[in-house]
Structure 1
Amino acid sequence: MGKLIFAINITLDGCCDHTKGIGDEEIHEYFTNLLGEVDVLVYGRKTYELMVPFWPDIARNNSGTNETMNAFARAFDAVGKIVVFSRSLQQADDGKTKIVGTDLREEILKLKQEEGKDILLGGVDLPSQLMQMDLIDEYRFVVQPLIVGEGRRLLEGISLEGLKLKLVSSKVFKSGCMALHYVK
């Protein structure tokens, strides 16, 4: 049974807007290593459209700005299956993406029962729903040493009363970013 792992970059003030923050070599390396632990990616439509075709194109063309970016793109592209929860997206252009418009809870429980590695969850809206359903097993936050004062916030408008996490590891990067790994 695979664990559902939620991973995200976030600033000190809770901003998780992909246009804000640091995207350096250490962060790409951290997330490349995390991709090696999973064989399923789970996204909502918005996150999926940010990730695909951007990362597969970089993997195909080796066109990142440095080798760690290219390595991340290759690791992303190597993940066997992408599950996208969407009511508006009808089809995907690749053979490994499955669009799901049915019951979120049931589909995640099915994915967790499949043989294989863990499942990596990204985005904001979908993870917020899954947090409220208590289906996320691990949390990986890369906290960036920035206060941006604007942009989309993680956990905005949701109640998670009683969610208690245990810190199992942390790592400080040269940039001042800190990777925090929590379990329920």
Structure 2
Amino acid sequence: MGKLIYLTNVSIDGYIEDESGSFNWLPPDDEVFAFTTGILRTAGTLLYGRRLYQAMAVWETDASLAARSDLMATFASAWQAASKIVYSTTLSEVSTADTRIERRFDPAAVRDLKAAAGSDLTVGGAGLAAQAFQAGLVDECRLIVWPVIVGGGKPGLPTGLRADLDLLDERRFGNGVVHLRYGLRGRSAGGVA
């Protein structure tokens, strides 16, 4: 059985994008990038909303990214190795291998996917993650917190939802970034305990 992990970069005030929809306040950092790649390697399936999938698909469709450095090649390889499910009502086709489109988020289907998984799954995109949180499917929340206040934008965590968390691990990086790994209290790997 796999765990469903929500992994996201957030500003210290909790946003994944600023008010203009930009996330260019995330400066490149090799140490954080290598750490994120390590997490990605543990995932056999990536669940994405349409916008995040389209942003991430370049790791397979643009070979020049992997050619830039060994770090980028390792990330591209890890990303390509995972199966991908894209939740979209508008996307008509995908540009990457081992990827399928689902028209709606079905909690029962994701629960079955977790039960059959031999490795962890990640959920990406704040809207999709909010649905997974609401359905009681998220087992871990991993926040990569950047030392910047953006003052508004798209929240990284769902609003209107109460969830108690247990801190499982933390890591500080030399650039001031902190990784916080939380388990959702009272939940087993299959959802609500």
Shared fold, TM over 0.5? yes
Q: Match of 2:129?
A: 127
Secondary structure of the equivalent of 1:16? strand
Q: Match of 2:20?
A: none
TM-score normalised according to structure 2 size = 0.85
Question: 1:70 is matched with which residue: 66, 69, 73?
Answer: 73
Letter in structure 1 aligned against 2:30: E
CA drift of 1:63 comes to 2.9
Question: 1:105 is matched with which residue: 101, 104, 107?
Answer: 107
Secondary structure of the equivalent of 1:47? helix
Secondary structure of the equivalent of 1:34? helix
Contact 1:8 1:140 in 2 (8 A): yes
- 2:95 and 2:26 map into 1 onto residues whose CA distance is 30
Q: Match of 2:43?
A: 38
- 1:68 and 1:61 map into 2 onto residues whose CA distance is 10
Q: Is the strand fraction higher in 1 or 2?
A: 2
* C-alpha RMSD of the superposition: 1.8
Letter in structure 1 aligned against 2:173: F
Distance 1:59 1:173, change over 3 A: farther
Of residues 14-23 and 55-64 in structure 1, the stretch that sits farther from structure 2 once superposed is: 55-64
- 2:65 and 2:165 map into 1 onto residues whose CA distance is 40
Unpaired stretches in structure 1, ≥5 consecutive residues: none
How many residues align? The count is: 179
CA drift of 1:59 comes to 5.3
Distance 1:171 1:83, change over 3 A: same
Contact 1:167 1:181 in 2 (8 A): yes
Unpaired stretches in structure 2, ≥5 consecutive residues: 18-22, 185-193
Q: Match of 2:34?
A: 29
Contact 2:59 2:65 in 1 (8 A): no
Contact 2:25 2:148 in 1 (8 A): no
Contact 1:165 1:182 in 2 (8 A): yes
CA drift of 1:61 comes to 5.8
- 1:61 and 1:153 map into 2 onto residues whose CA distance is 28
- 1:70 and 1:131 map into 2 onto residues whose CA distance is 32
Q: Match of 2:174?
A: 174
Secondary structure of the equivalent of 2:60? helix
Contact 1:59 1:77 in 2 (8 A): no
- 1:112 and 1:125 map into 2 onto residues whose CA distance is 19
Contact 1:85 1:104 in 2 (8 A): no
CA drift of 1:128 comes to 1.0
Q: 1:24-65: CA deviations, max 9, x gaps? A: 11111111100111110000111101101x11145576333x
- 2:130 and 2:104 map into 1 onto residues whose CA distance is 17
Letter in structure 2 aligned against 1:169: D
TM-score normalised according to structure 1 size = 0.89
Contact 1:121 1:127 in 2 (8 A): yes
